[in-house]
Structure 1
């Protein structure tokens, strides 16, 4: 094996390492409040959401492992700011979205984003 081949193999192995725990680190109090907001406004009626026992809707996508999702609604970069804007007013954030605008304040939407970004596949 040549030195160049060995270096290429090592670089390839480094690219396969597991991603960090979460792309975003949220304040635990914000995330707890986000779950309370999710339960209050009934997000579980349309989505399966870890931590919400009932209902477990399936009209919208499962939000299990949300931190690992690609673009929000297939279009918006998955950042806390974009997610907060989307959960608050999806039709404004992504025209044509079937998700309705939700009765959330800016702070509540940020807390919902904090909760969802803390979700992993477990």
Structure 2
């Protein structure tokens, strides 16, 4: 005597299990990079002062709605800086102070950002996750 399970019952039992499998394979995103010594409040002011918002859309910064460069929304959750450097504090500060040294000929101008200003700007950008 054969005990066949009707196809509809098989699907009712296995479909939820199959849908749950992709969730098991997911890993948590790494914590956002941070600049431990930077001052995010000062960074937001500096972003406005250097005019970063004329090229980038940057949440929390007045008149930062530029469309030339990429929007910096959720910056702290990104994997790369400028599509080239691993997103960490040192690389971001290097990019901010010397974008042409990182990628010659790119659209980001050298604005003469000092290392301490870059540290504070990075600290602010890492709050955007």
Q: Normalization by structure 2: what TM-score?
A: 0.74
Q: Could you tell me whether the CA contact under 8 Å between 1:26 and 1:118 is conserved in 2? A: no
| Range that drifts further, 34-43 or 49-58 | 49-58
Matched, 1:83 2:92: yes
Matched, 1:114 2:126: no
Q: Secondary structure at the match of 1:63?
A: coil
Stretches of 4+ aligned residues off by more than 6 angstroms: none
- RMSD, matched Cα: 2.5
1:23-34 alignment runs, 5 A limit: 23-27=32-36, 30-34=39-43
Number of matched residues? 111
Give unmatched runs, 5+ long, in structure 2: 1-19
Cα distance, 1:55–1:115 mapped onto 2, change above 3 Å: closer
Alpha-carbon distance between aligned partners in 2 of 1:113 and 1:104, rounded to the nearest angstrom? 12
Q: Normalization by structure 1: what TM-score?
A: 0.78
